[in-house]
Structure 1
Amino acid sequence: MPLLHHLNSHGREDEQIVEEFHGCRSKPARGESSRNQSPLLPGLPDDLAIACLIRVPRVEHRKLRLVCKRWYRLLAGNFFYSLRKSIGIAEEWIYLIKRDRDGKISWHAFDPVYQLWQSLPPVPKEYSEALGFGCAVLGGCHLYLFGGKDPLKGSMRRVIFYSARTNKWHRAPDMLRRRHFFGSCVINNCLYVAGGENEGVHRSLRSAEVYDPNKNRWSFISDMSTAMVPFIGVVYEGKWFLKGLGSHRQVLSEVYQPENDSWYSVYDGMVAGWRNPSASLNGHLYALECKDGCKLRVYDEATDSWSKHIDSKIHLGNSRALEAASLVPLNGKLCIIRNNMSISLVDVSKSNDAGGASAEHLWETLAGKGQFRTMVTNLWSSLAGRNRLKSHIVHCQVLQA
């Protein structure tokens, strides 16, 4: 069976691409003959040419688009990347959003295979200085920015997304409520937001809503039990856990169950020992034990406590530059990203066989930006003082293409 028929259910755009590469268009465009169309690769049928092109490393895809119009069109549609995903060669990159010393937002992509930082199109201007906005990934390859507070216009409903397949930004439907410093998560490829504040007085919100990309619209869901400004959240066992501050600055915890659209107050051993950042992977919940992220805690459901640890035995320090800002799954491992853009990987799948605290061999350091400036960065951070605005990571996600 031809490779191009391996995937045949990705929409009209993909069907058109299939038709073009098989030369079976019934009515070629004026002045164009599919019979005389140049092959993708000289001397090869287009099926085999695509079988070659989809195996080119992702880091080179920007160059592939520049070769000719046919290559550009192939890489501009979903078909090319759906093929990569279907045969298990799609690559995961780390995308981090950073606030610089002057308050400006920038962002960067890291290729963990070649250990290279990649250039990206600038963040749209409405988010260049925004505060308290959300960030999430839908469909594995679309990174969404939503809500937040513009320094001049106040709270926003705006939603935009970046496609890792096209390397471009796009608009999406606005949220139903203006909000900033809210909680967000993704369950079953739907984007949920809840709580936060709106502009003007610092009024906490109870409202929550969900975006379904298949319907391309937002809908309200049940309000939270109490108004909250969340500071930590995670999806664990199909439920969304949130922890934050109430209108009187008291600590609150709630869990949302999407199957019955209900919120419940919760305060058990998991919530009591929960620290930021945290992440769930393969049914287990992890959080950082120390500021530099060199020691992980694991929630033990049997004892309802955070009693297990995975320790690297190599601790870097407590400066803001070395502080771990994010914990995300990457290729089946946990990835720790620090403010100086150094990155560590932990193979937690082998932690049960590694003897808990003696599991330092499970850790791997990636040659991330800033890794070799650790000592200088640490010293400068200490000299600068805690009151000075410092460069730091505000969001981190993984996109596949």
Structure 2
Amino acid sequence: MSESCNSRHFSWLMKSCLPNPSDAKSLVPIHHHSSTVANPSATATTVASLPDDLLLECLSRVPSSSIPSLTAVCRRWSRLLLSPYFLHLRRRLGLLRHSLFAISAVDSGLFAAVLQFQSEIVNWRVSLAVSSSSVCFDGSHGSLPHARAAAIGPRVYVVSRNAVLRYDSWMGTLNLRSPMLFPRKKFAIAVISGKIYVAGGGGGSEVTAAVEEYDPEKNRWEVVTQAARKRYGCIGAAVDGVFYVIGGLKIGNETSRASAAHVYASSMDLFDVESRQWLRSRSVPGGGCVVAACAAVGHVYVLSSHAVELSFWRFDGRRGGGGFGEWRRLKSPPLPAQVRLDGTVRFSCVGVEDKVAVVQVVGCIDDLLRRSGRSERGLRESLVLLYDTADGEWSRAADLPEMITRAACACVEW
């Protein structure tokens, strides 16, 4: 790949940016200096001669389907298309689509699917299918079933105990990135200002207090603070520059009491990323065990389990107004009658624009039916419910594809 582009590349792009000689309305009188007329090449404009800001303005307007071709033109174009400025311009122009992304690692390989909400709810589209031999980087495949997912624009970072994979939904490429400094599973993860933050989790009986920050541009992790409480099995969310570390258990000899574990399972620790300070902790009303959480339209949405039922809560995370810190109980998700709230069922919450997607996955449907003695038909391994934050109503979306199990979910802009 060359460092700079040739003017012959993508002449159609330049034609869209320069006046059309056959269109009288687009012609503007140009007054040339005599020296300029004597040397016509002095006024020639090529793609390579455009400054980065003007080139980005042009590139940001192309259809998403053309982006993979643009990155192959030259290294300069590839660098610009990977920059956060390109993403910002497309977001400002309203050219980014928000989609629910689910990725799963099983024995046969790595699978991902996308569900778009822009018009009518449609079926899932499988966007990635890679065999296990292709994703087995230094033993990373074995830990991927316990991975968390976080998206920055069109790129999804699958963060596992000893590896990080980056999937580019525009390019359809999968790359290995730097792993976390502290190997951990069952941790909280969230994205704030284009960087990834993780907290809690660990391995075995060891739970780390280190909160790490990942810079995608530098491909580097660093510890930014120590957590207020060590949590295992916690969930992350982010609103207004605050990293919420929610739920989980307190593990260790000195914290083995059930009462201490219960307090952790229904509480939140708040970390202000900019000031590097911990704010006052908050507790989810009604107790219970937090099983899923996410952020959407300035609020944190929390799904709690009470052994035989679920409760759904909203926390106001907008620090600029007077409602910060207020809790409100919302309508619970309408789960099918055959779904039991036991260890075989996992939940994920993802904020997608003004909706909250609750993804319910049965860990192993055959084991569940065998233990319960049921042989019911129509019991799916997974379902997707959508909560509309505007009207407060739930609806059913298309179920996850059958190959997507133990899914890590995120909202992708692409």
2:314 paired residue number: 298
Q: Does 1:364 align with 2:364?
A: no
The gaps in structure 1 that reach 5 residues or longer are 1-11, 24-33, 149-155, 352-361, 374-389
Deviations 1:103-159 (A, max 9, x none): 965332334455341231527224433153332122x122112341xxxxxxx2x33
Following superposition, the deviation at residue 213 of structure 1 comes to 2.8
- Return closer, same or farther for 1:284/1:212 CA change in 2, 3 Å cut-off: same
Asked if 2 retains the 8 angstrom alpha-carbon contact of 1:277 and 1:326, the reply is yes
Where does residue 15 of structure 2 map in the other structure? 45
- Structure 2 residue 104 is the aligned partner of structure 1 residue 98: yes
1:244 aligned counterpart, secondary structure: coil
The residue aligned with 1:233 is 236
Query: Which string of whole-angstrom CA distances, capped at 9 and with x for unpartnered residues, describes residues 234-265 of structure 1?
Result: 33453223232222344235332223323467
CA distance in structure 1 between the aligned counterparts of 2:58 and 2:274, rounded to whole angstroms: 41
Change (3 A) 1:350 1:177: same
The verdict on how the C-alpha distance between 1:222 and 1:287 changes in structure 2, with shifts beyond 3 A counting, is closer
**CA distance in structure 2 between the aligned counterparts of 1:266 and 1:55, rounded to whole angstroms:** 45
> 1:304-319 counterparts in 2 under 5 A?
306-311=327-332, 315-319=336-340
Distance 1:227 1:368, change over 3 A: closer
CA contact 2:358–2:386 (8 Å) conserved in 1? yes
Does 2:264 correspond to 1:260? no
Change (3 A) 1:266 1:176: same
Structure 2: gaps (5+ residues): 21-56, 318-322, 362-380
Secondary structure in 2 matching 1:266:
strand
Q: Over aligned residue pairs, what C-alpha RMSD do you find?
A: 4.4
Query: Judging changes above 3 Å, is the alpha-carbon distance between structure 1 residues 230 and 312 closer, same or farther for their aligned structure 2 residues?
Result: closer
Q: Map 1:108-257 onto structure 2 (within 5 A).
A: 108-113=113-118, 114-122=122-130, 124-126=135-137, 127-130=140-143, 131-138=145-152, 140-148=153-161, 156=162, 158-198=163-203, 202-242=205-245, 243-246=247-250, 247=252, 248-249=255-256, 250-251=260-261, 252=264, 254-257=269-272
Rounded to whole Å, the distance in 2 between the matches of 1:167 and 1:46 is 27
From the superposition, tell whether residues 103 and 230 of structure 1 become closer, same or farther in structure 2 (CA, over 3 Å).
Answer: farther
- Name 2:369's counterpart in structure 1: none
Whole-Å Cα distance in 2 between the matches of residues 38 and 209 of structure 1? 42
Aligned residue runs from structure 1 range 273-284, under 5 A? 275-284=290-299
SS in 2 for 1:106: strand
User: TM-score, length-normalised on structure 2?
Assistant: 0.62
Identity %: 18
Distance apart, 1:366 and its partner CA = 2.7
The question of whether the paired residues in 2 share the 8 Å contact of 1:196 and 1:228 is answered with yes
Distance between the aligned counterparts of 1:262 and 1:295, measured in 2?
A: 30
Instruction: Summarize the Cα distance change of 1:86–1:319 in structure 2 as closer, same or farther, 3 Å threshold.
Output: same
Q: SS state of the match for residue 342, structure 1? A: strand
Matched, 1:393 2:406: yes
Q: Is the 8 A contact 1:343 1:367 kept in 2?
A: yes
Q: Deviations over 1:308-337 (max 9, x none)?
A: 223566745424799562221223222222
